[in-house]
Amino acid sequence: MDPLIQLLQINSNRSTSELAQILGLSEDEVVRRMRAAEADKTILGYNAVVDKQKAGHRGVTALIEVRITPEREGGFDRLAKRIAKFDQVRECFLMSGGYDLAVLVEGKDLLDVANFVAEKLSTLGGVLSTATHFQLKAYKQAGFLANSGDDEERLPVSP
């Protein structure tokens, strides 16, 4: 993987001059490479990783397992792309195992997510079944430990 992309994944808040210094490149070259990566969709966007609880977020997050019927010409792609376009969907992945898609959604409350599943997701042609799992607490997200301000000790290990 491109070292510039790796640095941006770790901390996209670094200045172009800092990135240039780390990589031994000119600032103009860093800017050019970043713009090229944005243009060809290697870089899809930039996000802050936020502890939602500390930020006062009161919504809910759910992981929905979705089983779908693959289409003759397109496999899972057409339906998966259609599901991914819903505003509630934050992430959508084709999976191996007992279900086909893992869909991460956010809603203002449990009923909001339930309505999304019942009225939008389950009614799509090709969706065979869904299983919804609500997030209760985050321990790690996007590579960062959540609630790391807590001084927890390691659990004792017994033989």
pLDDT for the residue 148? 56
Nearest to 25 by CA among 1, 46, 53, 4: 4
CA distance 122 to 127: 6
Percent of the chain whose pLDDT exceeds 90: 69
Whether 151 shows a pLDDT value over 60: the answer reads no
**pLDDT tier for residue 22 given thresholds of 50, 70 and 90:** very high
Tokens matching residue 38: 């944005």
Q: Which domains does the chain have, with CATH numbers?
A: 3-39 (1.10.10), 60-136 (3.30.70.920)
**pLDDT tier for residue 65 given thresholds of 50, 70 and 90:** very high
Cβ contacts of 25-32, under 8 Å, gap ≥ 24: 30/4
- Yes or no: say if 58 and 39 are a contact pair by the CB < 8 Å rule: no
